[in-house]
Structure 1
Amino acid sequence: MDHTTISLTELVGKAKMQLDLLGYADGTKKHYALKWDHFLIYAEQHGHTHFSKEIGDAFLADYYGIKTGKKLSVSQVFTVRTVAVLGELLADNCFRKCHQRIGKQPPPQFCDILGHYEKQQQEKNLSTRTICGKKNILIRFLSHLDKQGITDITCLTSHEVLSYLPTLEKYRNNTRSGILFSLRNFLLFLYSEGYLSEPLNDLFPVIFSYKFERLPSYYSTGEVHAVLCQVDRNTKIGRRDYLILLLAVQFGMRAGDIRQLKFEHIKWSRNTVEFVQQKTNSTLQLPVTEELKYAVADYMKNSRPEADDPHIFVRHRAPFQPFVGSNTFYHVINKYMALAEIKLNGRKHGLHSMRHSAASNLLQNHTPYPVITGILGHLNTETTKLYLRIDIQQLRTVALEVPDEK
């Protein structure tokens, strides 16, 4: 699209066509059109015939009293969006779904080095999720170095590394261990790639892991059933939510895998669901139960928006796109837990708690460990054995008798 020749009036016309193509509701389109009409009048009054960010900001400030850097109401956020999408359409010939904050970025002087590290991790075939987690940890570390006045990574010494450790005291032991593992790996990379002449990774010869520090949060069969019973399957959102919960409850699927599930992953001829897990990059094959078959069919026939997208789950508001990578369906599980009046008692209550609950319920049914390992997609049974700590019934069978005191 030619930025210099297309007029603001033409741009607004194209924007209205874009709303039609994306399937926006009539009411929403009217709200957009009203804001754009106001914008056209304002621009004409001030002698502007083409769009620019400056005229957009001036319009928001003068016409609606909206200024950048201020906390906005819901209606103000929408008004800002109506102007922002014009800029996107002009620059990229499309709208973004929503306007989220850009994630934290590394200090400019460390962008190249972090990019090099990220590329190396990709070459090792680590999952995108794992690499993203490491990257977020290292951005915090590099930001600390920036505050310490480090402008060149080759100038890094043990002093700056050790000065970072007190900032980790606020984290739980297990989280802190994970941060240190990532930091040690990055320092090894810096040394092996010649950025550092001293192996600063040797500062952490041993990192204690606290896998057994906390018990996994799980819910009983009765509690899980109560949650599912609260879903209104007569509504479009309810059918979608029920299917999401069923995948988590029956198979212990992670939120990321549910989010990325595609039609091609359901093998109807074999009655299986087959996909590559985000966390481990390993293929997992699960059976399709009759209940799951019905839930999928009900959602596809009666709820899913008509969207030309391979993902099973898409947003129910236009544009009908798949959920973003950061969405863990936290609001879905919490909505129905609240309706079911589940007492949390300090337990975690995200969708991942349903994964722990699935493991617990399988254990209670005396399911062999290799079978549970296969269902949960663990790479080995040692990971599955972590759930031994919540198998209360089995633990009681091996309890030692306490001798009477005489």
Structure 2
Amino acid sequence: MPEETKLEEVLRLTLESLKEKEYSTETLLRYQKKFHVVNSLAQNKGISEPSDKLFQEYLSDNKNKYTGKYSVLKERQRIRVVNLIKSYISDGEVNTSRKNGKSASDGIQTETLKNEFNRFAMILKENQLQPNTIYTYKRIVAYLLIYCEEKSYRSINELSSGDIRNFILYLYEHGYFKPTTIASGLSGLKRFLSLHPDIKHLIMELPTRLPREHRIIEIYRESETSAINEILSGGNLTKRDKAICLLLLETGLRAVDICNIKLTDIDWNKDVIYIRQQKTGMALNIPLRKSYGNTIVDYILNERPECNSKYLFVRELAPFTRLNGEGSSIRSVLLKMEALAGISNEGRVSGSRMTRHNAASVMLRSGVSMTNISAVLGHTDQNIVSVYLSTNETTMAACTLPLPGGVRK
């Protein structure tokens, strides 16, 4: 039996990833046929690995085989196939979203530099870093490779003394990062440079002292809180979205930890939700309050799709898998709630960061100790909580939402 090529391996794993997302047998067979077409084209061209050249060749055949005329449907189907394969190569699993947002790596044009980026992405995946860390690392490295192209460098090894220093300024000038937000990205840049012995010495040009951003943390105003309570008490949101919003507002959980709640994490006898925080690895016991507890029950019994997913909150449409995007799904739910409540997030923080600020401030106002607030928010150092509590008295008084009474042990 001939040895499997790299392309054949990627196509097989992409199909297996689709299967894990509970696609129907009919749909899987359809994609299997399309992947076979890709592989046949590669064999005819003498190509054994996934490449932009192969994908461009595949996409160029956009004519109906019977009429010979351009087919919009065929073109869209082929774009879909390529996006699925690329998402697996980049993330180690297929991204089934139909909306493919523009990412920084899309700006890389040179084949050699694209390969550098893909190799780095695979290494990050193999090292099992957190998804949000991988995203930040890939983003800053993508900008570095684009910077290299603008300097007419054909290889990453053409970087020389002063380039990394100038690249940091380039990031600031283009608004890609700020001095107060670049710290996590620099760790990824250091990791990337360390993979290349010829330019490893340029790590010395990375800044070591960065300014810290100090600002008043925003929370919902009194009028906004009243509008939110009205939306949550009505029927404008789905049962799933209502449960998610209540959990976020009353517990201050991170979005990714909401996505990771499994059905078996809920102890209905002890009224506790057991959580293992993705960011810190810490175990956290959340009291199962009546407000969101009853809504979760309503969702499970009357709205949650029948599926094999072990996760509590799943997609509303097939495939019924865990909410993905590491928080982007949760952000969409919160933005929907805010829009219904007539709340504008223009020029202010939004998403689960806002609900964490809000929950922390409510706890402080209600006399909850810093230790308990730190435990509920999932911080190992209670001094970190001061970031969330830097609100002024007027803003703090605006919060009226209920909150948990601490963490049960």
Same-fold call, TM cutoff 0.5: yes
Range 381-390 or range 313-322, more displaced: 313-322
Is 1:149 the counterpart of 2:152 in the alignment? yes
**Superposed counterparts of 1:5-404, under 5 Å:** 57-59=62-64, 67=72, 80-81=76-77, 97-101=96-100, 103=103, 104=105, 108-110=111-113, 111=115, 115=119, 119=123, 123=127, 126-170=129-173, 175-179=178-182, 182-183=185-186, 186-187=189-190, 190-191=193-194, 195-196=197-198, 199-212=201-214, 214-220=215-221, 223-231=224-232, 234=235, 238-325=238-325, 327-342=328-343, 346-392=347-393
* Unaligned stretches of 5+ residues in structure 1: 1-17, 33-51, 68-75, 397-406
Taking a change above 3 Å as real, the CA distance of residues 159 and 61 of structure 1, as seen in their structure-2 partners, is farther
Q: Distance in 1 between matches of 2:125 and 2:97?
A: 30
Q: What's the TM-score, normalizing by structure 2?
A: 0.67
CA drift of 1:288 comes to: 1.2
Instruction: Please state how far the C-alpha of 1:287 moved relative to its aligned partner.
Output: 1.4
Could you say which structure has the larger radius of gyration?
Answer: 1
For the Cα contact (< 8 Å) 2:228–2:341, is it kept in 1? yes
Q: Which amino acid aligns with 1:367?
A: V
Contact 1:122-1:131 at 8 Å conserved across structures: no
Structure 2 contact 240–303 (Cα < 8 Å) conserved: yes
1:283-321 deviation per Cα after TM superposition (whole angstroms, max 9, x unaligned): 322211122221110000111111111111112222323
Q: Which amino acid aligns with 2:141?
A: L
Could you tell which deviates more after superposition, 278-287 or 174-183?
174-183
Shift of 1:189: 6.0
Q: Distance in 2 between matches of 1:61 and 1:277?
A: 55
**If the length of structure 1 is used for normalisation, what is the TM-score?**
0.67
- Say if 1:98 and 1:175 are closer, same or farther in 2 by CA, change over 3 A: same
Q: Counterpart of 1:158 in 2: which secondary structure?
A: coil
Equivalent residue letter for 1:304:
R
Judged with a 3 Å threshold, the aligned counterparts in structure 2 of structure 1 residues 369 and 83 are, in CA distance, closer, same or farther, namely: closer
User: 1:218 Cα shift?
Assistant: 1.2
Distance change in 2, residues 1:180/1:370 (3 Å):
closer
Following superposition, the deviation at residue 222 of structure 1 comes to 5.6
Where 2:388 maps in the other structure, the secondary structure is helix
Shift of residue 81, structure 1, vs aligned partner? 4.7
- Describe the shift of the 1:310–1:168 C-alpha distance in structure 2 as closer, same or farther (beyond 3 A): same
Specify the code of the residue in structure 1 equivalent to 2:132: R
How far has the Cα of 1:179 moved from its partner?
2.8
How far apart, in 2, do the equivalents of 1:260 and 1:274 lie? 11
C-alpha change, 1:378 and 1:165, in structure 2 (3 Å) is same
Q: Tell me how far 1:217 sits from its aligned partner.
A: 2.5
Q: Distance in 2 between matches of 1:384 and 1:308?
A: 38
CA distance in 1, matches of 2:142, 2:274: 35
CA contact (8 A) 1:185 1:201 kept: no
The answer for the alignment partner of 1:5 in structure 2 is none
100 and 63 in structure 1: CA distance in 2 versus 1, 3 angstrom threshold: farther
Identity %: 22
CA distance in 2, matches of 1:391, 1:23: 53
CA distance in 1, matches of 2:350, 2:66: 42
Contact 2:365 2:396 in 1 (8 A): no
Q: 1:380 to 1:229 in 2, by over 3 A?
A: same
Secondary structure, in 3 states, of the residue corresponding to 2:274?
strand
| Offset, 1:182 | 2.7
1:353-379 per-residue CA deviation (whole Å, 9 max, x = no partner) reads 111111111111121111111111112
Note the C-alpha offset of 1:200: 2.1
Counterparts of 1:287 and 1:318, CA distance in 2: 31
CA deviation after TM superposition for structure 1 residue 187, in Å: 3.4
Q: Is the 8 A contact 2:179 2:211 kept in 1?
A: no
Which whole-Å CA distance do the structure 2 matches of 1:129 and 1:115 have between them?
A: 18
Task: For 2:184 and 2:346, locate their aligned partners in 1 and report how far apart those are by CA, in whole Å.
Answer: 31
How far, CA to CA, are the matches of 1:259 and 1:60 in structure 2? 44
- After TM superposition, the structure 1 stretch with the greater mean CA deviation from structure 2, 354-363 or 314-323, is 314-323
Letter in 1 for 2:76: V
> Residues 232, 304 of structure 1: CA spacing in aligned structure 2 closer, same or farther, 3 A cutoff?
farther
Amino acid of the structure 1 residue aligned with 2:205: L
